[in-house]
Structure 1
Amino acid sequence: MRIRAALAALPLSLLVLAACGTDDSATPTTSASASSSGSAVTAATLGPDVPAATALAAAVPAAELPTATGDFGTKATLEFPAGNPVPSLQREILTEGKGAEAEAGDYLEVNYLGQVWGGEVFDNSYDKKQSFSFKIGEGVVSGWSVGLTGVKQGSRVLLSLPPADGYGATGNSDGSIKGTDTIVFVIDVINVIKSDATGQTDATPNKDLPKTGIPKVTGKLGEEPTIEIGDAPEPTKAEVIVLATGTGEKVVAGDVVGQLVVTAWDGSQTTSTWASETDDGADPSTKGLQKITAAVGTDGQESVTEGLIGVPIGSRVMILLPGTSDSTTGQTSTAAVAVMDIVAQVSKTG
């Protein structure tokens, strides 16, 4: 499992809160399976020494870009102009939505089709009937993070990525996209989840919480909570306790995003993803929404996040984490408690 940067400073017991993510095969982050035989340009134009773009290039005439047909929510078809691909990062808004505008750190839920310029479709989410979610600036090819910043929810966008903004001079891992291939995406922005989003401020507090035996959580809903361990006994098993119930759909197995405060049981360490005035200089990946996998335990292994399944989106929950001990290395970690505002479900498994 891959631990979230925001939790990296906390005990090893928090490895279970790592965002494993969903199957990354054939996504904009990793290799795709279909073969490609599209147009390639020389390394002199788009070679290995060309850095990734940090901004969109000046727009070229529309006739120099592929033509996309199909409506938002349906698989697009691309037709390519004659000649070499445009040697710069290009964006064309095919239809503009009216929702929130994507910014760095936001989570986006999208459907997409990817095709090598003049070649084969190497991947699309429409046939899979499963959208793809990611955090702008993390885990996707750089052309996506640059090209989708500023795009509104509900938009259909065409992106043309030269190698430097896609899979680089080496191409993807299975060779289906070469290091000289320009790749083109048609992307439907289904949802923009703002980095400072929280659980519901009108969630219904749980009036049946035990008055003793668990840490005390204070703070208004929709604001950063405070955790006091007090004299609560260390947990011996993982447990999810609903502090306030939202009204959204119930979480199913898959990835959710939310805001977190995590405290070691001995009080030695606390970390928070909630933004504050003292965040200057902080690693931006540790602030704002973080992705957690809600998973059912397998092969006799306990999953501390299984208790998130069935909890409505918008809720605030407490996650009790027992201490751990590695019999091989002898390394131990203290117990901990996390308070999470569940903001959205961004992927589903099974």
Structure 2
Amino acid sequence: MGRLIDAAHGRRAAVCHRQREVSSVHHNRSARLVILAGVIAAILLIVAGTTLYLRPGQDPLTVSGGFGEQPRVTFAEGERPGEDLVAETVIAGNGVVAAQDDLAVVQFASYAWTGTSHRQLDSSHGQDRPAVMRIGELVPGLNKGLIGKKTGSRVVVSIPPKDGYGATGNPQEGVTGADTLIYVVDLLATYPTTASARGRAGPADPALPQVVSAPAGGPPTVTIPASDPPDQLRVRTLIEGAGPIIRADHMLITHYQGQVWRNGKVFDSSWSRGEVAPLSSLTGTIAGIGKGLTGQKVGSRVLLVIPPKDGYGKGAPQPGIKKDDTVVFVVDILGAY
């Protein structure tokens, strides 16, 4: 969870096509045919969930397969990709519109293409969970291509070098300065920075920190009692959501805030950073988070009071957590995959 709890997230957050984190989003399977004539340069065919994407003279390729499935992508031999950014919705969803700074949960496949050769770069299909992409932190062309698209949609984005990695490419990702990037992205869900828990308020416990909600997108105000902290893990469901029950192996989408009981210092907060945070799994975080969130429901806000033995037993000097510090977390569980 965020910077301190889910270390793996920090390594993956800025990577444009290697993030793994899936909700059940229904898609519309429509049938439409655009017949090309003269200067018209696109064919889009959707039949029973199978799509055909062909742009003669620009991006001659076909993409087929149903939403959420591994796409089948065929590149026309001898044809070169176009020089302009192209983003086409080949399966139209009817969900919310993706926006700048949203955290998108996706299935995707990416390719590098020069016209004379092509190769697959990455794919989330076949993994145990979907990927996450933070719109605004991807290569420019992919950011532009996803903004304004609806969840439940399959989007094909053709990204020329000027909108991708530029003339230098990205050797670490196996991309040269001549490669056009092709992304096939299924938008499963998106979470804006203002996402918050929604449900029925639970009873307060006067012996525990008191939590007052802020407007959507803002951090809650947490008042910690002057008394000594409890020596056992305490879990309080402040808002009970109506979503699925959390398992230990779930990837979660969250907003959260962590504080030190001793002085009330906030040492980590996704709300303050203005970003919804993925938590790769409850088995990879501190014990109190895993124990406290397992069995909760999506949509809930949970208060966790975590003693050192279930938290940072050896301390965490950089954020000012001592080895005997009890920590307090407020977590909004926004999604689980």
- Tell me, in whole angstroms, the C-alpha distance in 2 between the residues paired with 1:238 and 1:142: 44
Identical amino acids, percent of aligned pairs: 26
Confirm whether residue 229 of structure 1 aligns to residue 224 of structure 2: yes
- Tell me, in whole angstroms, the C-alpha distance in 2 between the residues paired with 1:330 and 1:74: 43
Change in Cα spacing, 1:83 to 1:293, as seen in structure 2 (3 Å) is closer
Confirm whether residue 21 of structure 1 aligns to residue 21 of structure 2: no
Match of residue 318 from structure 1: 303
Per the TM alignment, residue 318 of structure 1 is displaced from its structure 2 partner at its CA by: 1.0
Confirm whether residue 295 of structure 1 aligns to residue 292 of structure 2: no
- Tell me, in whole angstroms, the C-alpha distance in 2 between the residues paired with 1:197 and 1:148: 19
Match of residue 264 from structure 2: 267
Asked which structure has the greater RCO (Cα within 8 Å, sep 6+), the reply is: 1
- 1:205-261 residue CA offsets vs partner (Å, 9 max, x unmatched): 1x4x6432x212234897863211122423556654322322211222343222334
Change in Cα spacing, 1:127 to 1:220, as seen in structure 2 (3 Å) is closer
SS in 2 for 1:120: strand
Match of residue 190 from structure 1: 188
Change in Cα spacing, 1:106 to 1:329, as seen in structure 2 (3 Å) is closer
Map residues 168-207 of structure 1 onto 2, 5 A cutoff.
168=166, 169-173=168-172, 175=174, 177-200=175-198, 202-205=199-202, 207=203
| Amino acid corresponding to residue 209 of structure 2 in structure 1 | P
Match of residue 110 from structure 2: 114
Change in Cα spacing, 1:100 to 1:19, as seen in structure 2 (3 Å) is farther
Confirm whether residue 218 of structure 1 aligns to residue 205 of structure 2: no
Within the candidate set 142, 145, 149, 1:144 is matched to 142
Work out whether residues 204 and 246 of structure 1, in 8 Å CA contact, stay in contact via their aligned partners in 2.
Answer: no
Change in Cα spacing, 1:119 to 1:326, as seen in structure 2 (3 Å) is same
- Give the TM-score of the pair, scaled to structure 2: 0.70
Work out whether residues 106 and 188 of structure 2, in 8 Å CA contact, stay in contact via their aligned partners in 1.
Answer: yes
Work out whether residues 325 and 332 of structure 1, in 8 Å CA contact, stay in contact via their aligned partners in 2.
Answer: no
Work out whether residues 245 and 316 of structure 1, in 8 Å CA contact, stay in contact via their aligned partners in 2.
Answer: yes
Work out whether residues 171 and 180 of structure 1, in 8 Å CA contact, stay in contact via their aligned partners in 2.
Answer: no
| Amino acid corresponding to residue 86 of structure 1 in structure 2 | G
Per the TM alignment, residue 28 of structure 1 is displaced from its structure 2 partner at its CA by: 4.1
Match of residue 339 from structure 1: 330
- Tell me, in whole angstroms, the C-alpha distance in 1 between the residues paired with 2:97 and 2:143: 13
- Give the TM-score of the pair, scaled to structure 1: 0.68
Per the TM alignment, residue 154 of structure 1 is displaced from its structure 2 partner at its CA by: 1.3
Per the TM alignment, residue 102 of structure 1 is displaced from its structure 2 partner at its CA by: 0.3
Match of residue 49 from structure 1: none
- Tell me, in whole angstroms, the C-alpha distance in 2 between the residues paired with 1:271 and 1:251: 23
Q: Which runs of 5+ in 2 are unaligned?
A: 20-39, 43-54
- Tell me, in whole angstroms, the C-alpha distance in 2 between the residues paired with 1:330 and 1:71: 47
Work out whether residues 20 and 293 of structure 1, in 8 Å CA contact, stay in contact via their aligned partners in 2.
Answer: yes
- Tell me, in whole angstroms, the C-alpha distance in 2 between the residues paired with 1:148 and 1:330: 37
| Amino acid corresponding to residue 137 of structure 1 in structure 2 | G
- 1:33-65 residue CA offsets vs partner (Å, 9 max, x unmatched): xxxxxxxxxxxxxxxxxxxxxxxxxx9863211
Change in Cα spacing, 1:180 to 1:255, as seen in structure 2 (3 Å) is same
Q: Which runs of 5+ in 1 are unaligned?
A: 5-14, 32-58, 275-284
Within the candidate set 285, 289, 292, 1:305 is matched to 289
Match of residue 74 from structure 1: 69
Per the TM alignment, residue 89 of structure 1 is displaced from its structure 2 partner at its CA by: 2.4
- Tell me, in whole angstroms, the C-alpha distance in 1 between the residues paired with 2:305 and 2:8: 19
Change in Cα spacing, 1:294 to 1:68, as seen in structure 2 (3 Å) is closer
